[in-house]
Structure 1
Amino acid sequence: MRIDQAYLAAQLKQLLSIDSPTGYTDRIVHYCSRELERLGLTPELTRRGAIRALRPGGTPMGARAIVSHLDTLGAQVKLIKECGRLELVSIGHWSARFAEGGRVTIYSEQGSFRGTVLPLKASGHTFNEGVDTLPVGWDHVELRIDALTQSKAETRALGIDVGDFVAFDTNAEFLDNGYINARHLDDKAGVAIMLAAIEALQRHEVRTEVDTHWLFTIAEEVGVGAAAIVTPDIAAMVTVDNGTTAPGQNSKEFGVTIAMADQTGPFDYHLTKKLVDLCRENDIAFQKDIFRYYRSDSASAIEAGHDVRTALAAFGIDASHGYERIHAHALFSVASLIAAYAASPVRISRDLQEISGREGFTKQPVAQASQPEFDPQTISKPK
């Protein structure tokens, strides 16, 4: 199947233009639902807005799920200061270091306002070296509102209050050489990848052996993720999310990064091996990695008690949860893998049943690997 690269890029640009910090995701849920309908699927929404779009296959049992999350990092108003500026608390786990200087939109009951997040000591002409010695943290930044207010009363009169959501501009930039810079590529790039895979499956009229559940969650950044959207007929779930390209990691901004484990433990052996085999069979560049300080929709599903095989197909992001950068090569690679996975035959027929006997249960290799015959002459004598 050929992934429509122009469609993927256009979807990512559109998704990045819609603010969706965790807790304020209605607008992006509407957008994604409309696009799924346009592609020929019928989305179902949970009470809070997580999306399940079923693409029917040969049987509903032993279904596959592919999941990404619509929500992003952000902030909320924690306190209105006497000077009229706003104290913030983060949504999701990210450093205030990357919030400083950010242009934002404040969503209040009365409407939206623009502003900038600044360190408490923001003027070099006033604080001199104090600007450089100010600690980093959410207690050391404030939001300056672009409205006429110099007091707590004036800010409250605007309609701004504690708990209002703050969305950070993505500052998206798509370069001709394939690099993409933006906030919130985690995980709007994953959503775009899934939409592109669906578009390819629909365009090629691919028939699958089992149903495929395309899931879009709305609270992954705060740890909820896929906890409540996985149904009992789902046997395997592949998460599409970011991989961290940083010192000490094997992730790259090119190809697919297949996660072998995260902070919650190893991913399913057989499902992970299937993704690796599909990469090899379809000539998709890939590498493996382990993330020690990382969790995803897969982790939340397992912790919620769902008995599903899980795996993570990642696109490498440089400076994750900061000033993020990816390359289009990784996006198209992951989309190709996801489409190939959805279309691939079922290997473990036993998974069509929730509970069954030992017959047909999987086996992991234990035989000793073959090695060259030992030759003492190849080992140099100690000096």
Structure 2
Amino acid sequence: MSLKIDADYLCRELAALLAIPSPTGMTDEIIHHLSGRLGDLGLEATLTRRGAIRTRLAGRASEGARAVVGHVDTLGAQVKALREDGRLALVPVGHWSARFAEGARATVIAESGPIRGTILPPLASGHTFGEAVDSAPIGWDHVVLRLDVPVSDPAGLEALGVGIGDHVVIDPGTEFMPNGYIVSRHLDDKAGVAAMLAALRAIRDLGEVPALDCWWIFTIAEEVGHGAAGAMLPDIASLVAVDNGTTAPGQNSSEYGVTIAMADQTGPFDWHLTRKLVDLCRNHAIPHQKDVFRYYRSDSASALEAGADLRTALVTFGVDASHGYERIHLNALTSVAELLARYSLSPVEIPRDARALAGLTGFTHQPVAAPEDE
């Protein structure tokens, strides 16, 4: 099967996604954009009430369908308080350290419209505070948003239409490097979404019909823990989540190839589905490695916690400095895209999964250690 991932298309789609602000709670515009991109591929986007997308890649059968899920929401912040000095106290949207917020350019979405600013520590000038700048504590209680408008008190902020709870979107600061590195905030998980689009385009260009329906799902609240909770369908029997891998000391993730997660903080992924993905990588020479994530969860966890009875797995692209100043390599994204496409087109290996409830016939086996002789 001659399947080709268009790396230029993937990069164009990623750049377009990164240019659209979409912190959790403000995802409407990126859903409009993504629905249009799916339409360009000949797919119809069906939206949940809040805006998660489900689109069906039609197969020869619908029962026991597969699904691939990624999320479009990103980290961000909200206004916690209007400070007496005219600056804004913040709380994070999603889990990320305030040390990565310091120095970020940002936009508060006020009632009057967007207002630009910079996130700073209160002691922001070495010329004024001297060495105290270097010993200042780190945390969300120790950063403020300075707006680029002449305002010096809460009354001035209110006159501008700024209020508690207003969303703050963080500039991505995206760079595509000639050597394949991509540096940006919000690569988690817009890079995964771009890889999903590239996989769908490759399947379309190949012209093959999958054995099973495959639902491609794009969620809007993964960063706060409940992304796929309301997005599953009863016919779906297996779910592959696409998200970032944690490239860091002590991890086996890499910025090259696919990193297949064997477990995360919610426990092991499905034994059979995970090994199917590893075998697809081996059989098609897709560079890959395996890893275990201790402080990490994805859309698959929220689907299971919501009561979906399905097999789950997680494929990732290695991210250096995840939830901070992130960096990835294009090689990982094209590898992820190829694996997703080949998974969608792969043969059915557990026919029994087409039924939600069935007897023992056809149920799977796992290898076990032989018992010792007594």
Q: TM-score, normalised by structure 2?
A: 0.98
Residue by residue, what CA displacement relative to the aligned partner does 1:191-238 show, whole Å, maximum 9, x if unpaired?
Answer: 000000011111111201111100000000000110110011000000
- Aligned residue type for 1:296: S
Residue by residue, what CA displacement relative to the aligned partner does 1:94-143 show, whole Å, maximum 9, x if unpaired?
Answer: 00000000000111222101000000100101110110111000000000
* Partner Cα separation in structure 2 for residue 241 and residue 286 of structure 1: 15
Aligned residue runs from structure 1 range 1-383, under 5 A = 1-366=3-368
* Partner Cα separation in structure 1 for residue 153 and residue 116 of structure 2: 17
* Partner Cα separation in structure 2 for residue 183 and residue 89 of structure 1: 18
* Partner Cα separation in structure 1 for residue 212 and residue 177 of structure 2: 39
| Equivalences, count | 369
Residue by residue, what CA displacement relative to the aligned partner does 1:296-320 show, whole Å, maximum 9, x if unpaired?
Answer: 0001111111111000000000000
* Partner Cα separation in structure 2 for residue 37 and residue 110 of structure 1: 33
- Aligned residue type for 1:57: G
- Aligned residue type for 2:27: T
Q: TM-score, normalised by structure 1?
A: 0.95
SS at match of 1:189: helix
* Partner Cα separation in structure 2 for residue 156 and residue 146 of structure 1: 15
* Partner Cα separation in structure 1 for residue 369 and residue 161 of structure 2: 68
* Partner Cα separation in structure 2 for residue 109 and residue 224 of structure 1: 27
Deviation at 1:285, TM superposition (A): 0.7
Structure 1: gaps of 5 or more residues? 369-383
Deviation at 1:367, TM superposition (A): 5.2
* Partner Cα separation in structure 2 for residue 71 and residue 346 of structure 1: 32
* Partner Cα separation in structure 2 for residue 136 and residue 81 of structure 1: 18
SS at match of 1:210: coil
Alignment match, 1:381 = none
- Aligned residue type for 1:188: K
Deviation at 1:44, TM superposition (A): 0.5
SS at match of 1:209: coil
* Partner Cα separation in structure 1 for residue 320 and residue 265 of structure 2: 19
* Partner Cα separation in structure 1 for residue 109 and residue 6 of structure 2: 35
SS at match of 2:64: strand
Alignment match, 1:375 = none
Same amino acid, percent of matched pairs:
62
* Partner Cα separation in structure 2 for residue 202 and residue 281 of structure 1: 22
Deviation at 1:164, TM superposition (A): 0.6
SS at match of 2:262: strand
Aligned Cα root-mean-square deviation (Å): 0.9
* Partner Cα separation in structure 1 for residue 275 and residue 228 of structure 2: 22
SS at match of 2:62: strand
- Aligned residue type for 1:335: A
Query: After TM superposition, which residue ranges in structure 1, 4 or more long, deviate above 2 angstroms?
Result: none
* Partner Cα separation in structure 2 for residue 51 and residue 82 of structure 1: 42
* Partner Cα separation in structure 2 for residue 367 and residue 4 of structure 1: 44
* Partner Cα separation in structure 1 for residue 192 and residue 339 of structure 2: 13
* Partner Cα separation in structure 2 for residue 122 and residue 34 of structure 1: 43
* Partner Cα separation in structure 2 for residue 210 and residue 42 of structure 1: 17
* Partner Cα separation in structure 2 for residue 108 and residue 202 of structure 1: 42
